[in-house]
Structure 1
Amino acid sequence: MNVEARFYVNKKLEPLMFEELRNSIGRGVGGFLPAVRQLGNVAALPGIVGFSIGLPDIHSGYGFSIGNIAAFDCSKKESVISPGGVGFDINCGVRLIRTNLYEKDVAPVKEQLTQALFDYIPVGVGSRGAIPMSAADLVDCLEMGMDWTLREGYSWAEDKEHCEEYGRMLQADATKVSTRAKKRGLPQLRRLLGQVVVMLHCGSRGLGHQVATDAL
């Protein structure tokens, strides 16, 4: 390895990490490598600096483990830029949204609420969003980021204050994304005790995967 590999977990997660490693011994070819071994592999990549770091949510991934962080010195000719390290689910994001509701407000209607979420949130392979989207809309979304959602009335201005890069990367260039990746991404768009919050975990599963595939 060119640098050390380190990961940060609590007492509950540590045994699981090493159990995964033990179970991989003698398993033969096939399947994902355990996250610990993937951390070590990344630590051996050319140009890596500091450490190959695993965050507390680390688990096996495509080459890099999910939750693996690595930095590379691009001033060195031998350094690598790895699409696999960026990930096949590029720009997968998590948001925690605070509401003005409390547990007592939703408890009586939790079954109806759950059903409504399943009815209105598309999930699974081949599913489509409820908002009609054109190819031009997708290009605008790729380049404008959260400003596109503001323009279309899907978010509020103050939402940007809580997003990385204020919800928009000014150097974004939709022409760098292949037509196939856009085609795959088009259908996908569109702390108080007892307080109800909503967690969103989403990513450009089709578009992001295709971008990585194009680069690889």
Structure 2
Amino acid sequence: MSAIKVVTSILKANDEINSLNKKMLDEKKIYVLNVMSSPGSGKTTILEKIISKLQADIKIAVIEGDPYTSIDAQRIEAKGVPVVQINTGGACHLDANMIKNAMDNLNLNEIELLIVENVGNLVCPAEFDVGEDIKVTVMSTTEGTYKPLKCPLAFEKSGLVILNKIDLVKYTNFDMDEFYKSVKSLNEKAIIFETSCTQDLGLAELCSWLKNKVREKRND
């Protein structure tokens, strides 16, 4: 019984800070992605591709979540955009307070698109809103057809799903029809993009969609 109260208290506190984050980011008209995935999905590589394709037109910043290292943050920094590293010390997710503190290290007046790369985990991160406009789940075809059903909350809460490494489908038993069926059974409104970073497939379409969402918020 006490454990339930603790969890409820944590989520309530997070919701309060999330509301403050969202208010500030909306006032600045910054479009925010909260990107979630299992380790090895290609999430960071996708972000590198997005940055390369959009940074000439859109001011981008990234908040990187990782239990211990700054490896991914270094990769993003090499792309020439502002990046703040959050090391969780083993915690399996980012929360709203972490993002609030990270934003203190960014010039929000110089950002149009803020990308939060969450800790590699498809369970805990989905529980915590951080001020985002949209949650994004990235999964690869090598993770198996039924990953959405095994980690339902991430897919239920994600307005955007990116199916990565589609060039590897021919080497797996991945069933595309069953994947779409599973995602849509959890979230019929989810937008799905199929991508391959090695073959540069689907990335132009994804970036065009993101660019439109950023512009919509800027002009709102």
TM-score, with length taken from structure 2: 0.22
- Using CA pairs below 8 Å that are at least 6 residues apart, which structure has the higher relative contact order? 2
Larger C-alpha radius of gyration, 1 or 2? 1
